Structure 1
Amino acid sequence: MSDFAGIRALVTGGASGIGLATARMLASRGARVACLDLRPDGAGPPLLGVECDVTDDDAVRAAVGPVVEEFGGLDVVVNNAGAGARGTVEDNDDDEWRSVLDVNVLGTVRVTRAALPALRRSGRAAVVNTCSVAAVTGLPQRALYSASKGAVHALTLAMAADHLADGIRVNCVLPGTADTPWVQRLLAAAPDPAAELAALEARQPSGRLVTSDEVAHAICSLASPDAGATTGVALPVDGGLTALRVPHG
Protein backbone atom coordinates (compact mmCIF):
# COMPACT_ATOMS: atom_id res chain seq x y z
CA MET A 1 0.00 0.00 0.00
CA SER A 2 1.18 3.54 -0.70
CA ASP A 3 -1.69 5.64 0.65
CA PHE A 4 0.81 7.55 2.84
CA ALA A 5 3.18 8.45 0.02
CA GLY A 6 4.44 11.98 0.66
CA ILE A 7 2.88 12.08 4.14
CA ARG A 8 4.99 13.34 7.04
CA ALA A 9 4.08 11.82 10.39
CA LEU A 10 5.01 12.11 14.04
CA VAL A 11 4.31 9.37 16.60
CA THR A 12 4.79 9.87 20.33
CA GLY A 13 5.80 6.86 22.38
CA GLY A 14 7.01 5.67 19.00
CA ALA A 15 9.96 3.52 20.03
CA SER A 16 8.05 0.56 21.48
CA GLY A 17 4.70 -1.22 21.60
CA ILE A 18 1.76 0.27 19.72
CA GLY A 19 3.71 3.40 18.84
CA LEU A 20 6.54 1.50 17.16
CA ALA A 21 4.11 -0.79 15.34
CA THR A 22 2.26 2.30 14.07
CA ALA A 23 5.44 4.07 13.00
CA ARG A 24 6.66 1.03 11.09
CA MET A 25 3.29 0.56 9.41
CA LEU A 26 3.13 4.21 8.38
CA ALA A 27 6.65 3.99 6.94
CA SER A 28 5.83 0.76 5.08
CA ARG A 29 2.93 2.58 3.43
CA GLY A 30 5.06 5.49 2.23
CA ALA A 31 5.25 8.01 5.09
CA ARG A 32 8.29 9.70 6.56
CA VAL A 33 8.00 9.11 10.29
CA ALA A 34 9.53 10.67 13.39
CA CYS A 35 9.24 8.76 16.68
CA LEU A 36 9.23 10.94 19.81
CA ASP A 37 10.12 8.93 22.88
CA LEU A 38 11.97 9.16 26.19
CA ARG A 39 14.20 6.38 24.83
CA PRO A 40 14.11 6.68 21.03
CA ASP A 41 16.81 4.06 20.37
CA GLY A 42 14.16 1.45 19.59
CA ALA A 43 13.14 3.39 16.48
CA GLY A 44 15.73 2.41 13.91
CA PRO A 45 15.92 3.38 10.23
CA PRO A 46 13.94 4.38 8.27
CA LEU A 47 12.31 5.94 11.34
CA LEU A 48 13.70 9.15 12.80
CA GLY A 49 14.11 8.76 16.55
CA VAL A 50 13.80 11.94 18.60
CA GLU A 51 14.21 12.15 22.37
CA CYS A 52 11.24 13.89 23.97
CA ASP A 53 9.48 14.10 27.31
CA VAL A 54 5.82 14.93 26.66
CA THR A 55 5.44 16.29 30.21
CA ASP A 56 7.83 19.16 29.37
CA ASP A 57 6.38 21.81 27.04
CA ASP A 58 9.80 23.23 26.15
CA ALA A 59 11.06 19.75 25.31
CA VAL A 60 8.00 19.07 23.15
CA ARG A 61 8.46 22.26 21.17
CA ALA A 62 12.20 21.58 20.85
CA ALA A 63 11.39 18.15 19.38
CA VAL A 64 8.45 19.02 17.13
CA GLY A 65 10.04 22.11 15.57
CA PRO A 66 13.10 20.34 14.12
CA VAL A 67 10.93 17.46 12.84
CA VAL A 68 8.75 19.93 10.94
CA GLU A 69 11.88 21.60 9.56
CA GLU A 70 13.53 18.29 8.63
CA PHE A 71 10.40 16.98 6.90
CA GLY A 72 9.36 20.30 5.36
CA GLY A 73 6.00 20.14 7.10
CA LEU A 74 3.76 17.77 9.03
CA ASP A 75 0.56 15.95 8.09
CA VAL A 76 -0.12 13.33 10.76
CA VAL A 77 0.26 13.33 14.53
CA VAL A 78 -0.29 10.15 16.53
CA ASN A 79 -0.53 10.93 20.25
CA ASN A 80 0.37 7.54 21.63
CA ALA A 81 2.68 8.21 24.59
CA GLY A 82 0.95 7.03 27.74
CA ALA A 83 1.31 5.91 31.31
CA GLY A 84 -0.64 3.18 33.08
CA ALA A 85 -1.93 2.80 36.62
CA ARG A 86 -3.72 0.19 38.70
CA GLY A 87 -6.03 0.62 41.65
CA THR A 88 -9.27 2.09 42.93
CA VAL A 89 -9.68 5.73 43.98
CA GLU A 90 -8.20 4.72 47.34
CA ASP A 91 -4.99 3.30 45.95
CA ASN A 92 -3.26 6.05 43.95
CA ASP A 93 -1.94 9.14 45.73
CA ASP A 94 -2.15 12.67 44.38
CA ASP A 95 1.35 12.56 42.93
CA GLU A 96 0.50 9.49 40.85
CA TRP A 97 -2.73 11.12 39.65
CA ARG A 98 -0.80 14.20 38.56
CA SER A 99 1.88 12.10 36.87
CA VAL A 100 -0.50 9.94 34.80
CA LEU A 101 -2.74 12.85 33.82
CA ASP A 102 0.36 14.84 32.87
CA VAL A 103 1.43 12.17 30.38
CA ASN A 104 -1.89 10.91 29.05
CA VAL A 105 -3.88 14.14 28.85
CA LEU A 106 -1.53 17.09 28.96
CA GLY A 107 1.03 15.23 26.84
CA THR A 108 -1.58 14.99 24.09
CA VAL A 109 -2.35 18.68 24.50
CA ARG A 110 1.29 19.77 24.37
CA VAL A 111 2.23 17.77 21.29
CA THR A 112 -0.89 18.73 19.34
CA ARG A 113 -0.50 22.38 20.31
CA ALA A 114 3.10 22.43 19.09
CA ALA A 115 2.13 20.70 15.82
CA LEU A 116 -0.95 22.78 14.99
CA PRO A 117 0.74 25.49 12.92
CA ALA A 118 2.28 22.85 10.63
CA LEU A 119 -0.92 20.80 10.50
CA ARG A 120 -2.91 23.85 9.40
CA ARG A 121 -0.59 24.15 6.39
CA SER A 122 -0.92 20.47 5.44
CA GLY A 123 -4.10 19.99 3.41
CA ARG A 124 -4.13 16.33 4.54
CA ALA A 125 -3.89 16.80 8.30
CA ALA A 126 -4.97 14.14 10.78
CA VAL A 127 -4.51 13.61 14.50
CA VAL A 128 -5.10 10.20 16.05
CA ASN A 129 -5.07 9.78 19.82
CA THR A 130 -4.49 6.43 21.51
CA CYS A 131 -7.33 6.20 24.01
CA SER A 132 -8.66 2.98 25.63
CA VAL A 133 -11.81 0.99 26.17
CA ALA A 134 -11.32 2.08 29.80
CA ALA A 135 -12.67 5.46 28.70
CA VAL A 136 -16.11 4.02 27.95
CA THR A 137 -16.27 0.77 29.93
CA GLY A 138 -16.07 0.36 33.69
CA LEU A 139 -13.08 -1.86 34.44
CA PRO A 140 -11.99 -2.90 37.95
CA GLN A 141 -8.77 -1.55 39.43
CA ARG A 142 -8.37 1.13 36.74
CA ALA A 143 -9.81 4.32 38.31
CA LEU A 144 -6.92 6.66 37.52
CA TYR A 145 -6.17 5.15 34.13
CA SER A 146 -9.85 5.23 33.15
CA ALA A 147 -10.19 8.86 34.20
CA SER A 148 -7.17 9.85 32.12
CA LYS A 149 -8.40 8.01 29.04
CA GLY A 150 -11.93 9.35 29.51
CA ALA A 151 -10.38 12.81 29.31
CA VAL A 152 -8.54 11.83 26.11
CA HIS A 153 -11.83 10.62 24.61
CA ALA A 154 -13.60 13.90 25.43
CA LEU A 155 -10.58 15.90 24.28
CA THR A 156 -10.62 14.08 20.94
CA LEU A 157 -14.22 15.10 20.28
CA ALA A 158 -13.58 18.71 21.33
CA MET A 159 -10.49 18.94 19.12
CA ALA A 160 -12.38 17.45 16.19
CA ALA A 161 -14.99 20.19 16.52
CA ASP A 162 -12.47 22.97 17.09
CA HIS A 163 -10.26 22.15 14.13
CA LEU A 164 -12.76 21.06 11.52
CA ALA A 165 -12.52 24.50 9.92
CA ASP A 166 -8.72 24.15 9.87
CA GLY A 167 -9.00 21.01 7.76
CA ILE A 168 -7.60 18.87 10.56
CA ARG A 169 -9.35 15.57 11.27
CA VAL A 170 -9.14 14.27 14.85
CA ASN A 171 -10.03 10.72 15.87
CA CYS A 172 -9.02 8.17 18.48
CA VAL A 173 -8.68 4.43 18.87
CA LEU A 174 -9.98 2.51 21.88
CA PRO A 175 -7.75 -0.54 22.31
CA GLY A 176 -8.72 -3.35 24.61
CA THR A 177 -5.97 -5.01 26.62
CA ALA A 178 -3.07 -5.16 24.18
CA ASP A 179 0.11 -7.20 24.27
CA THR A 180 2.43 -4.28 24.99
CA PRO A 181 5.53 -3.81 27.16
CA TRP A 182 3.39 -2.20 29.88
CA VAL A 183 1.02 -5.18 30.02
CA GLN A 184 4.00 -7.55 30.08
CA ARG A 185 5.40 -5.64 33.07
CA LEU A 186 1.98 -5.82 34.75
CA LEU A 187 1.90 -9.58 34.23
CA ALA A 188 5.45 -10.02 35.49
CA ALA A 189 4.56 -8.20 38.72
CA ALA A 190 1.42 -10.28 39.36
CA PRO A 191 1.51 -13.00 42.06
CA ASP A 192 0.34 -15.51 39.44
CA PRO A 193 1.24 -14.22 35.93
CA ALA A 194 -0.50 -17.11 34.16
CA ALA A 195 -3.75 -16.53 36.04
CA GLU A 196 -3.55 -12.78 35.44
CA LEU A 197 -3.03 -13.34 31.69
CA ALA A 198 -5.97 -15.74 31.58
CA ALA A 199 -8.18 -13.16 33.29
CA LEU A 200 -7.13 -10.44 30.84
CA GLU A 201 -7.79 -12.71 27.86
CA ALA A 202 -11.16 -13.83 29.21
CA ARG A 203 -12.28 -10.20 29.62
CA GLN A 204 -12.37 -9.79 25.83
CA PRO A 205 -15.00 -11.78 23.91
CA SER A 206 -12.34 -12.81 21.38
CA GLY A 207 -10.55 -14.61 24.21
CA ARG A 208 -7.14 -13.12 23.52
CA LEU A 209 -5.12 -9.94 23.85
CA VAL A 210 -5.15 -7.38 21.08
CA THR A 211 -1.89 -7.15 19.13
CA SER A 212 0.06 -3.93 18.62
CA ASP A 213 -0.20 -4.40 14.86
CA GLU A 214 -4.01 -4.58 15.06
CA VAL A 215 -4.13 -1.25 16.89
CA ALA A 216 -1.59 0.21 14.47
CA HIS A 217 -3.77 -0.82 11.53
CA ALA A 218 -6.74 1.04 13.04
CA ILE A 219 -4.62 4.13 13.67
CA CYS A 220 -3.34 4.10 10.11
CA SER A 221 -6.87 3.68 8.76
CA LEU A 222 -8.01 6.81 10.62
CA ALA A 223 -4.90 8.78 9.67
CA SER A 224 -5.00 7.87 5.98
CA PRO A 225 -5.90 10.58 3.46
CA ASP A 226 -8.43 8.04 2.16
CA ALA A 227 -10.45 8.63 5.37
CA GLY A 228 -11.04 12.28 4.53
CA ALA A 229 -14.67 12.28 5.72
CA THR A 230 -13.91 10.63 9.08
CA THR A 231 -13.49 12.86 12.11
CA GLY A 232 -14.67 12.76 15.73
CA VAL A 233 -14.65 8.95 15.70
CA ALA A 234 -13.63 6.65 18.57
CA LEU A 235 -12.77 3.29 17.01
CA PRO A 236 -12.71 0.26 19.34
CA VAL A 237 -10.00 -2.35 18.75
CA ASP A 238 -10.95 -4.59 21.62
CA GLY A 239 -12.02 -8.06 20.55
CA GLY A 240 -15.66 -7.04 20.98
CA LEU A 241 -15.39 -5.87 24.62
CA THR A 242 -17.41 -2.66 24.31
CA ALA A 243 -20.11 -3.92 21.95
CA LEU A 244 -20.63 -7.65 22.45
CA ARG A 245 -22.11 -9.68 25.27
CA VAL A 246 -21.09 -13.24 24.48
CA PRO A 247 -21.94 -15.96 27.04
CA HIS A 248 -19.04 -18.13 28.14
CA GLY A 249 -19.14 -21.88 28.31
Structure 2
Amino acid sequence: MSTTPTFALTLPRTVVVTGAASGLGHELCRILLACGVETIGVDRAPALEELRQDNRYAHVTGSVSDPATWEEVNALIDRSGSQSIGLVTAAAILDVGSILETSSEMLMRTLEVNVVGTALAIKSLLPRMIDNGGGPIVAIGSVSGSFGEQQLAAYSSSKAAVRGLARTIAMDHARQGIRVNVLSPGPMMAGLFKRHLESAADSAKFLATRANRQPAGHILDPAEVAQAAVFLLSGQSSAFIGADLMADGGLSTSFDFRTGAEGTSIG
Protein backbone atom coordinates (compact mmCIF):
# COMPACT_ATOMS: atom_id res chain seq x y z
CA MET A 1 0.00 0.00 0.00
CA SER A 2 1.41 3.38 -0.98
CA THR A 3 1.18 6.37 1.32
CA THR A 4 1.03 10.06 0.55
CA PRO A 5 4.26 11.85 1.53
CA THR A 6 3.81 14.53 4.19
CA PHE A 7 5.88 17.36 5.66
CA ALA A 8 5.61 18.06 9.38
CA LEU A 9 5.73 21.53 10.91
CA THR A 10 6.98 22.45 14.39
CA LEU A 11 4.65 25.01 15.94
CA PRO A 12 4.69 27.08 19.15
CA ARG A 13 2.88 25.56 22.10
CA THR A 14 0.63 28.64 22.38
CA VAL A 15 -0.47 31.05 19.65
CA VAL A 16 -2.38 34.29 20.15
CA VAL A 17 -4.66 35.21 17.23
CA THR A 18 -6.43 38.56 16.92
CA GLY A 19 -9.62 38.87 14.90
CA ALA A 20 -10.49 35.35 16.04
CA ALA A 21 -14.28 35.59 15.79
CA SER A 22 -14.55 35.68 12.00
CA GLY A 23 -12.85 35.25 8.65
CA LEU A 24 -9.14 34.53 8.51
CA GLY A 25 -8.66 34.70 12.29
CA HIS A 26 -11.36 32.11 12.91
CA GLU A 27 -10.02 29.77 10.22
CA LEU A 28 -6.53 30.05 11.66
CA CYS A 29 -7.75 29.24 15.18
CA ARG A 30 -9.60 26.23 13.85
CA ILE A 31 -6.48 24.89 12.09
CA LEU A 32 -4.19 25.55 15.06
CA LEU A 33 -6.52 23.69 17.42
CA ALA A 34 -6.64 20.77 15.01
CA CYS A 35 -2.82 20.73 15.19
CA GLY A 36 -2.91 20.58 19.00
CA VAL A 37 -1.84 24.19 19.59
CA GLU A 38 -3.16 26.01 22.65
CA THR A 39 -4.86 29.02 21.10
CA ILE A 40 -5.88 32.35 22.60
CA GLY A 41 -8.30 34.29 20.44
CA VAL A 42 -8.84 38.03 20.76
CA ASP A 43 -11.84 39.84 19.32
CA ARG A 44 -14.47 42.40 20.26
CA ALA A 45 -17.05 39.74 19.38
CA PRO A 46 -17.44 36.54 21.43
CA ALA A 47 -15.91 33.29 20.23
CA LEU A 48 -17.87 31.07 17.90
CA GLU A 49 -19.29 27.90 19.43
CA GLU A 50 -16.99 25.72 17.33
CA LEU A 51 -13.97 27.17 19.10
CA ARG A 52 -15.51 27.37 22.58
CA GLN A 53 -16.06 23.60 22.58
CA ASP A 54 -12.29 22.96 22.50
CA ASN A 55 -10.67 23.07 25.95
CA ARG A 56 -7.39 24.21 24.38
CA TYR A 57 -9.06 27.45 23.30
CA ALA A 58 -9.36 30.60 25.41
CA HIS A 59 -11.00 33.81 24.29
CA VAL A 60 -10.45 37.41 25.33
CA THR A 61 -13.31 39.71 24.41
CA GLY A 62 -12.00 43.21 23.90
CA SER A 63 -10.48 45.70 21.49
CA VAL A 64 -6.94 45.06 20.25
CA SER A 65 -6.26 48.79 20.76
CA ASP A 66 -7.13 48.62 24.49
CA PRO A 67 -4.15 47.86 26.78
CA ALA A 68 -6.52 46.08 29.20
CA THR A 69 -7.14 43.44 26.53
CA TRP A 70 -3.44 42.61 26.45
CA GLU A 71 -3.20 42.52 30.23
CA GLU A 72 -5.84 39.78 30.12
CA VAL A 73 -3.99 37.91 27.35
CA ASN A 74 -0.76 37.98 29.34
CA ALA A 75 -2.59 36.79 32.45
CA LEU A 76 -3.87 33.76 30.52
CA ILE A 77 -0.36 32.95 29.35
CA ASP A 78 0.95 33.33 32.91
CA ARG A 79 -1.61 30.81 34.13
CA SER A 80 -0.74 28.35 31.36
CA GLY A 81 2.99 28.60 32.05
CA SER A 82 3.73 28.37 28.35
CA GLN A 83 7.20 29.46 27.26
CA SER A 84 6.63 28.90 23.56
CA ILE A 85 4.54 31.73 22.12
CA GLY A 86 3.49 32.79 18.63
CA LEU A 87 1.34 35.72 17.53
CA VAL A 88 -0.82 36.43 14.48
CA THR A 89 -2.39 39.87 14.16
CA ALA A 90 -5.42 39.33 11.93
CA ALA A 91 -7.83 41.87 13.45
CA ALA A 92 -8.78 44.60 10.98
CA ILE A 93 -11.64 46.80 9.88
CA LEU A 94 -12.46 48.05 6.39
CA ASP A 95 -14.53 51.02 5.29
CA VAL A 96 -15.25 51.51 1.59
CA GLY A 97 -14.76 54.99 0.17
CA SER A 98 -12.40 57.40 -1.55
CA ILE A 99 -10.52 59.91 0.57
CA LEU A 100 -13.32 62.43 -0.12
CA GLU A 101 -15.78 59.98 1.41
CA THR A 102 -13.55 59.11 4.37
CA SER A 103 -14.35 61.08 7.50
CA SER A 104 -11.75 61.84 10.16
CA GLU A 105 -13.62 59.45 12.45
CA MET A 106 -13.44 56.62 9.90
CA LEU A 107 -9.74 57.20 9.33
CA MET A 108 -8.91 57.31 13.03
CA ARG A 109 -10.97 54.18 13.74
CA THR A 110 -9.19 52.27 10.96
CA LEU A 111 -5.74 53.32 12.14
CA GLU A 112 -6.66 52.59 15.78
CA VAL A 113 -7.59 48.98 15.05
CA ASN A 114 -5.37 48.06 12.12
CA VAL A 115 -2.16 49.85 13.10
CA VAL A 116 -2.29 50.68 16.81
CA GLY A 117 -3.92 47.33 17.57
CA THR A 118 -1.13 45.51 15.75
CA ALA A 119 1.55 47.56 17.49
CA LEU A 120 0.04 46.98 20.95
CA ALA A 121 -0.29 43.25 20.35
CA ILE A 122 3.38 42.93 19.41
CA LYS A 123 4.60 45.30 22.13
CA SER A 124 2.62 43.43 24.78
CA LEU A 125 3.96 39.97 23.93
CA LEU A 126 7.44 40.84 22.70
CA PRO A 127 9.21 41.03 26.12
CA ARG A 128 7.83 37.60 27.04
CA MET A 129 8.92 36.15 23.69
CA ILE A 130 12.41 37.63 24.06
CA ASP A 131 12.71 36.13 27.55
CA ASN A 132 11.69 32.78 26.06
CA GLY A 133 14.50 32.96 23.51
CA GLY A 134 12.38 34.10 20.58
CA GLY A 135 9.22 33.31 18.71
CA PRO A 136 7.30 33.91 15.47
CA ILE A 137 5.03 36.86 14.74
CA VAL A 138 2.84 37.04 11.64
CA ALA A 139 1.39 40.47 10.89
CA ILE A 140 -1.52 40.22 8.47
CA GLY A 141 -1.12 42.88 5.81
CA SER A 142 -2.85 43.07 2.45
CA VAL A 143 -2.02 43.36 -1.23
CA SER A 144 -3.73 46.73 -0.80
CA GLY A 145 -0.85 47.79 1.43
CA SER A 146 1.57 47.54 -1.50
CA PHE A 147 -0.73 48.30 -4.44
CA GLY A 148 -3.38 50.98 -4.68
CA GLU A 149 -6.97 49.77 -4.62
CA GLN A 150 -9.87 52.02 -5.47
CA GLN A 151 -12.27 53.03 -2.68
CA LEU A 152 -10.02 51.67 0.07
CA ALA A 153 -8.16 54.83 1.05
CA ALA A 154 -8.16 54.27 4.81
CA TYR A 155 -7.72 50.50 4.70
CA SER A 156 -4.87 50.54 2.16
CA SER A 157 -2.94 53.21 4.05
CA SER A 158 -3.35 51.31 7.32
CA LYS A 159 -2.04 48.09 5.81
CA ALA A 160 0.95 49.91 4.34
CA ALA A 161 1.68 51.12 7.88
CA VAL A 162 1.37 47.57 9.24
CA ARG A 163 3.90 46.40 6.67
CA GLY A 164 6.41 49.10 7.67
CA LEU A 165 5.83 48.48 11.37
CA ALA A 166 6.33 44.73 11.14
CA ARG A 167 9.44 44.87 8.98
CA THR A 168 11.08 47.41 11.28
CA ILE A 169 10.35 45.29 14.37
CA ALA A 170 11.80 42.31 12.49
CA MET A 171 15.10 44.15 12.06
CA ASP A 172 15.16 45.49 15.62
CA HIS A 173 14.71 42.09 17.26
CA ALA A 174 15.97 39.41 14.88
CA ARG A 175 19.07 38.75 17.01
CA GLN A 176 16.84 38.09 20.00
CA GLY A 177 15.22 35.18 18.20
CA ILE A 178 12.14 37.09 17.09
CA ARG A 179 10.91 36.34 13.56
CA VAL A 180 8.40 38.87 12.26
CA ASN A 181 6.92 38.41 8.81
CA VAL A 182 4.04 39.97 6.91
CA LEU A 183 1.40 37.83 5.23
CA SER A 184 -0.52 39.87 2.67
CA PRO A 185 -3.73 38.24 1.45
CA GLY A 186 -5.53 39.19 -1.72
CA PRO A 187 -9.30 38.84 -2.03
CA MET A 188 -10.69 35.93 -0.02
CA MET A 189 -14.22 34.94 0.86
CA ALA A 190 -14.07 36.38 4.34
CA GLY A 191 -15.54 39.34 6.19
CA LEU A 192 -13.58 42.25 4.69
CA PHE A 193 -13.90 41.20 1.04
CA LYS A 194 -17.53 40.25 1.59
CA ARG A 195 -18.16 43.74 2.98
CA HIS A 196 -16.57 45.26 -0.12
CA LEU A 197 -18.67 42.89 -2.24
CA GLU A 198 -21.90 43.80 -0.49
CA SER A 199 -21.23 47.51 -0.99
CA ALA A 200 -21.09 47.10 -4.78
CA ALA A 201 -24.01 48.32 -6.90
CA ASP A 202 -24.08 44.89 -8.61
CA SER A 203 -22.59 42.29 -6.23
CA ALA A 204 -22.83 39.42 -8.72
CA LYS A 205 -21.00 41.38 -11.41
CA PHE A 206 -18.42 42.59 -8.88
CA LEU A 207 -17.70 39.01 -7.74
CA ALA A 208 -17.51 37.63 -11.29
CA THR A 209 -15.14 40.39 -12.37
CA ARG A 210 -12.86 39.99 -9.36
CA ALA A 211 -12.80 36.19 -9.68
CA ASN A 212 -11.97 36.47 -13.38
CA ARG A 213 -9.05 38.74 -12.51
CA GLN A 214 -7.47 35.91 -10.49
CA PRO A 215 -5.13 33.67 -12.55
CA ALA A 216 -6.87 30.53 -11.21
CA GLY A 217 -10.29 32.06 -11.82
CA HIS A 218 -11.63 32.05 -8.28
CA ILE A 219 -11.45 33.99 -5.01
CA LEU A 220 -9.36 32.31 -2.32
CA ASP A 221 -10.92 30.51 0.63
CA PRO A 222 -9.67 31.98 3.95
CA ALA A 223 -8.48 28.51 4.98
CA GLU A 224 -5.90 28.65 2.17
CA VAL A 225 -4.44 31.86 3.57
CA ALA A 226 -4.63 30.49 7.13
CA GLN A 227 -2.45 27.56 6.11
CA ALA A 228 0.18 30.01 4.85
CA ALA A 229 0.08 31.72 8.26
CA VAL A 230 0.61 28.35 9.97
CA PHE A 231 3.74 27.83 7.87
CA LEU A 232 5.12 31.24 8.90
CA LEU A 233 4.50 30.31 12.53
CA SER A 234 6.47 27.10 12.15
CA GLY A 235 10.15 26.53 12.78
CA GLN A 236 10.45 25.36 9.19
CA SER A 237 9.99 28.95 7.96
CA SER A 238 13.16 30.16 9.70
CA ALA A 239 14.59 31.51 6.41
CA PHE A 240 11.92 34.24 6.45
CA ILE A 241 12.60 37.35 8.53
CA GLY A 242 10.92 40.61 7.59
CA ALA A 243 9.45 39.08 4.45
CA ASP A 244 6.14 40.14 2.92
CA LEU A 245 4.51 37.08 1.39
CA MET A 246 1.68 37.76 -1.04
CA ALA A 247 -1.01 35.15 -0.38
CA ASP A 248 -3.15 36.36 -3.25
CA GLY A 249 -3.54 33.42 -5.63
CA GLY A 250 -1.20 35.06 -8.13
CA LEU A 251 -3.15 38.33 -8.37
CA SER A 252 -0.07 40.55 -8.02
CA THR A 253 2.24 38.39 -10.15
CA SER A 254 1.29 40.07 -13.43
CA PHE A 255 0.63 43.71 -14.18
CA ASP A 256 -1.92 42.69 -16.84
CA PHE A 257 -3.36 39.20 -16.39
CA ARG A 258 -5.18 38.14 -19.55
CA THR A 259 -8.09 35.69 -19.54
CA GLY A 260 -8.17 35.20 -23.30
CA ALA A 261 -11.55 36.89 -23.62
CA GLU A 262 -9.87 39.99 -25.00
CA GLY A 263 -8.48 38.03 -27.97
CA THR A 264 -5.00 37.05 -28.99
CA SER A 265 -2.21 39.56 -29.59
CA ILE A 266 -0.53 37.24 -32.09
CA GLY A 267 -1.55 37.66 -35.73
TM-score by length of 2: 0.87
Contact 2:142 2:186 in 1 (8 A): yes
Contact 1:15 1:49 in 2 (8 A): no
Please tell me whether residue 62 in structure 1 is matched to residue 71 in structure 2: yes
Note the 1:76-115 alignment, pairs <5 A.
Answer: 76-115=86-125
Q: Which has the larger radius of gyration?
A: 2
Counterpart AA for 1:179: M
1:209 corresponds in structure 2 to 219
Deviates more, 1:195-204 or 1:11-20: 195-204
CA distance in 2, matches of 1:5, 1:203: 34
Identical pairs, percent? 31
CA distance in 1, matches of 2:187, 2:72: 30
TM-score by length of 1: 0.93
Counterpart AA for 1:247: R
Contact 2:181 2:241 in 1 (8 A): yes
Counterpart AA for 1:79: T
Q: What do you get for the CA RMSD once the two structures are aligned?
A: 1.8
CA distance in 2, matches of 1:203, 1:154: 27
2:32 to 26, 29, 37: 26
Contact 2:134 2:176 in 1 (8 A): no
Which structure 2 residue ranges, 5 or more long, are not aligned? 1-6, 262-267
Please tell me whether residue 247 in structure 1 is matched to residue 263 in structure 2: no
1:14 to 17, 20, 24: 20
Cα deviation for residue 221 of structure 1 reads: 0.7
Cα deviation for residue 67 of structure 1 reads: 2.3
1:163 to 173, 176, 200: 173
Counterpart AA for 2:96: R
String of CA shifts for 1:178-212, please: whole Å, max 9, x gaps: 10023323333433221121132233222211111
1:3 corresponds in structure 2 to 9
The DSSP-based 3-state class of the residue aligned with 2:64 is coil
Contact 1:190 1:196 in 2 (8 A): yes
Contact 1:84 1:182 in 2 (8 A): yes
The DSSP-based 3-state class of the residue aligned with 2:97 is coil
1:36 corresponds in structure 2 to 42
Counterpart AA for 2:62: C
The DSSP-based 3-state class of the residue aligned with 2:99 is coil
The DSSP-based 3-state class of the residue aligned with 2:193 is helix
Cα deviation for residue 158 of structure 1 reads: 0.2
Contact 1:174 1:235 in 2 (8 A): yes
1:218 to 228, 239, 245: 228
The DSSP-based 3-state class of the residue aligned with 1:169 is strand
CA distance in 2, matches of 1:214, 1:127: 19
CA distance in 2, matches of 1:223, 1:240: 22
CA distance in 2, matches of 1:35, 1:227: 23
Which structure 1 residue ranges, 5 or more long, are not aligned? none
CA distance in 2, matches of 1:79, 1:5: 17
CA distance in 2, matches of 1:80, 1:186: 17
Please tell me whether residue 174 in structure 1 is matched to residue 174 in structure 2: no
CA distance in 1, matches of 2:247, 2:21: 21
Compared CA separation, residues 216 and 166, structure 1 to 2 (3 A) = same
